[in-house]
Amino acid sequence: MATPTSTAPPRPETRELPEGLRGLASPLRRPSAGTFTALVVAIAAVVWSAQGAQFSLGGLVSGIPDIADFLARLWPPDFAKLGKIVALLVETLQMAILGTLLGAVASLLLSFTAARNIAPRPVYLVSRFVLNVLRSIPELVFALMFVTAVGLGPFAGILALAIGVIGTMAKIFAEAIESIDPGPVEAMRAVGAGRAQTVVFAMLPQAMPMITSYTLMLWEGNVRHATILGLVGAGGIGLELTLAMRLYDFGHLLAIIICIVVLVTAIDRLSAFLRARLS
């Protein structure tokens, strides 16, 4: 006697999510309490900041005619003093180059004391605290200090840029050293290499591409920072920019801004090209 066959409908085919999306499926369907709390805190922080900082879209909209009037006063640019502008921009670029170079050398030396995998813990903690202090002080404050010490001129600006970037560069360099592959370091130590040999032959070769790339990026930033140090008499184009604003010489002001944009754009492209060649 033949066994009756089942007539149950076939089960629908189930498809699994791609492996890269499996971790996203659960949070999208069922957000955790921690995610919800973080979202509420973030929204509350934005609202609190907007109220405390007097953020107002209405004020911005009502001020648009004044912005348009200011921009209209800028046109047309006046390049009658182009030679002076170019000379001051060259001085600004020279300040940025020397300030970045001095800051990079000092930062590299300090980064060994701020890297967790090299420095003893007490030295590490003290170095990190010093770098935090340096990062919290604007370059203009350093510029005022060095103008008082060495007088007006670009030398004060170079020193201000060098000290100003140490807090950031040394921290970045230290983190680059901390992120290296420990394999070559352990191999060097296994064959009896000392601390200095391990740093020079196992750590620096791994960290140097990243250190070089970050140095070029900070050089771009220093070009922009150097343009405002002239506000306190520390050389560069900043003083001429300030005088143009105070004298309401709008055409000259626009010419300075255009030249600064050209310089910063050229530096950005050159830096990007060099980073691409080094990567």
Closest CA to 214 of 149, 164, 170, 246: 170
Given a contact cutoff of 8 angstroms between Cβ atoms, the answer to whether 92 and 223 are in contact is: yes
- Residue 9's pLDDT is 53
Q: What phi and psi values does residue 234 have, to the nearest 5 degrees?
A: -100, 30
**At residue 198, what is the residue type?**
T
Given a contact cutoff of 8 angstroms between Cβ atoms, the answer to whether 204 and 196 are in contact is: no
Measured at the alpha carbon of residue 160, what is the angle toward residues 272 and 250, in degrees to the nearest 5?
75
Residue 173: CB partners within 8 Å, gap ≥ 6? 107, 108, 111, 207, 211, 214
- Residue 274's pLDDT is 77
pTM of the model: 0.72
- Residue 1's pLDDT is 47
Cα 15 off chain centre by: 44
Q: For residue 237, with 0-12 CB atoms within 10 Å meaning exposed, 13-18 middle and 19 or more buried, which class applies?
A: buried
Domain ranges across the chain = 82-278
Given a contact cutoff of 8 angstroms between Cβ atoms, the answer to whether 206 and 125 are in contact is: no
**Angle between helical axes of 82-114 and 121-136 (0-180°, round to 10):** 160
Top CATH class, 82-278? mainly alpha
Residue that the structure tokens 């140490």 belong to: 166
Going from the C-alpha of 89 to that of each of 226, 257, 258, 263, the distances in angstroms are 9, 11, 11, 8
H-only helix segments in the chain: 19-29, 33-52, 57-62, 64-74, 82-114, 121-136, 139-150, 154-178, 182-190, 195-198, 204-226, 238-246, 250-278
- Residue 57's pLDDT is 82
Residues of the chain with pLDDT under 50: 1-2, 14, 17, 24, 26-27
What 8-state DSSP symbol labels residue 231? G
- Residue 15's pLDDT is 53
Closest CA to 143 of 272, 206, 232: 232
- Residue 279's pLDDT is 62
**At residue 71, what is the residue type?**
L
What 8-state DSSP symbol labels residue 15? -
Q: Tokens for 89?
A: 């921009």
- Residue 147's pLDDT is 86
- Residue 96's pLDDT is 87
Closest CA to 82 of 94, 72, 71, 90: 90
Measured at the alpha carbon of residue 38, what is the angle toward residues 34 and 41, in degrees to the nearest 5?
140
